Structure 1
Amino acid sequence: MSMANSHHEIAKTRYSLLKDRTQAFCSAFLDLPNNPPEKILSEHFTKNEPKITEHGPEWTNKRLPFLGRTFSGKDECLKYFSLLSETLEFIPNKTTFPGRDGIIVDDRASVRALSIEGKGRDGRGVVSVVGQAEFKAVKTGRSWEEKFIYRLSEFDEDGMIGHWEIWADPLSAWVAVGDGEQDE
C-alpha cells in the first residue's frame, strides 16, 4: 500500500468512526428512558474531563441555569443534565436528527484544549449536527418547536466526545419557562 493510500485509509477510518459515534450519540436522545445521563456520559464521552457548553447569554441564568457556561468533568456534566431536566423537557421524534448523510464531519480539524490541570490535549475532528424537536418548560407546561445545533469536538483516539456544544433558541426557552413576570 502506498503512503498516500495508507493516509487515505486512516483518514477514512477516523471519518467513519466520528460519524458512527455521533450517530450513536444522537440516537441515545431518541430513547431517553433507556439512556439516562450517567449512561450517555459513560458510553459517549471521554473519561478525561468531558465538557458540555450550551451557549446563551449569562443573564438568562435566572431561568435557564444550564446556559452560558461550560460544565467540565463528569460531576459537572451530570449537573448540566440535572439543571436542564429540572427546567426543560426534550420531546424528540423520528426526524429530530438527520440520517447519516446529515452529519457533517471534519476529521482533520484539530482542537487544542487545556485541562483543569493545565495540561493540553489534542482532539482531532469536529462534527456538526442540526436537529429539531419540541421542548417543554417543566414549570409552566409551555412548549415550542425549534432547531438546534450540536458541535462535537475534542474526540479521543477512540472517537469518544471531549466537548459537546449546543446552540439553541434561548429566547423561546426564556419565555416558556417564565411565569408571566416582567423582567427589566
Structure 2
Amino acid sequence: MSTPYAHHETAQTRSSILRQRAQAFCASFLDLANNLPDKMLSEHFTQHNPQITEHGPAWANKRLPFLGKTFSGKEGCLDYFSLLADTLEFIPNKDTFPGKEGFVVDDTANVTSGGGPKHSGIGLGWDGRGAVSVVGKAKFKAVKTGKEWDEQFIYRLSGFDEEGKIGHWEVWADPLSAWAAVGGEEVS
C-alpha cells in the first residue's frame, strides 16, 4: 500500500514530465526548418494512433481543409501538416509560447472528446490520461494571398502514452481571420 506522500511524488513526477514534453513539442515550432512533420511526429507523438484536431466549423473546409475534423494515425497526421502548410504559414517568434508556468497540467485528466487514444497502462502505469493546455501567439500568413494577421491560439495535448508522448493534439485558433486571409479579404 502506498503512502499519500509517495502518491504525491508520483503525481509531481508525471506532471513534470508532461509539462516538459509539452514545452519541447511547442519549442519545435520555433525551428520549423529543422523540425519537419515526420520528425515532430516521431519525437513528440505516441506511435499508438496519434491524432490531431483543429477545431472549427466544417463549412470552412472549402478554404481551410485542415479544419473541423480529426486526423488519425501517422499518415493522417502527416496529411494535416501538408494541408496546413499548403494553406497557411506559421511565423513564430521567441514569445510565441510562455515559460513553463504558462503550461497548465492536469496529470489525471481523461480527455475523451474527439476519441482520444487509450493505452494499456504499461510501463509507468499511465493509461492515456493527462492533459496540458497552453495559449500561444504568432503571426500567420495565407500562402496564396500573402495576407497576414496576428492571433492567439490554444493547444491542448492529451492522451499521453507511458513515455509521456502526445496522443492527441487539439488546436483552437481564429478560423474567421484565416478564412478571410485565404479568400484575399482584409483581416483586421
TM-score, length-scaled by structure 2: 0.90
Aligned AA (2:136): G
In the alignment of these two chains, the number of paired residues is 176
Spell out structure 1 runs of 4+ moving beyond 3 A.
Answer: 111-115
Cα offset, 1:105, TM superposition: 0.2
* Structure-1 residue corresponding to 2:9: 9
SS at match of 2:49: coil
CA drift of 1:85 comes to 0.2
Match of 2:134 in 1: 129
**Residue in 2 aligned with 1:170?**
175
Q: Judging changes above 3 Å, is the alpha-carbon distance between structure 1 residues 138 and 159 closer, same or farther for their aligned structure 2 residues? A: same
Match of 2:144 among 131, 136, 139: 139
Q: 1:40 maps to which residue?
A: 40
Partner SS, residue 135 of structure 1:
strand
Give me the TM-score of the superposition, normalised by structure 1: 0.92
Equivalent-residue separation in structure 2 for 1:109 and 1:159 (angstroms): 14
| Equivalent position of 1:50 in the other structure | 50
Distance between the aligned counterparts of 2:159 and 2:56, measured in 1?
21
The secondary structure found in structure 1 opposite 2:110 is strand
Q: Which amino acid aligns with 1:149?
A: I
Equivalent-residue separation in structure 2 for 1:158 and 1:179 (angstroms): 43
Amino acid paired to 2:59? W
Read off the aligned partner of 2:146 and give its amino acid letter.
G
1:92-107 counterparts in 2 under 5 A? 92-107=92-107
CA contact (8 A) 2:116 2:168 kept: no
The match for 2:154 is 149
Take 1:47 and 1:114, find their aligned partners in 2: how far apart are those partners?
13
Which structure 1 residue ranges, 5 or more long, are not aligned?
Answer: none
| Counterpart secondary structure, 1:98 | coil
**Separation in 2, partners of 1:23, 1:110:** 20
Separation in structure 1 between the aligned mates of residue 176 and residue 18 of structure 2, nearest angstrom: 31
Alpha-carbon separation, structure 1, partners of 2:6 and 2:116: 31
1:79-98 equivalence runs, <5 A = 79-98=79-98
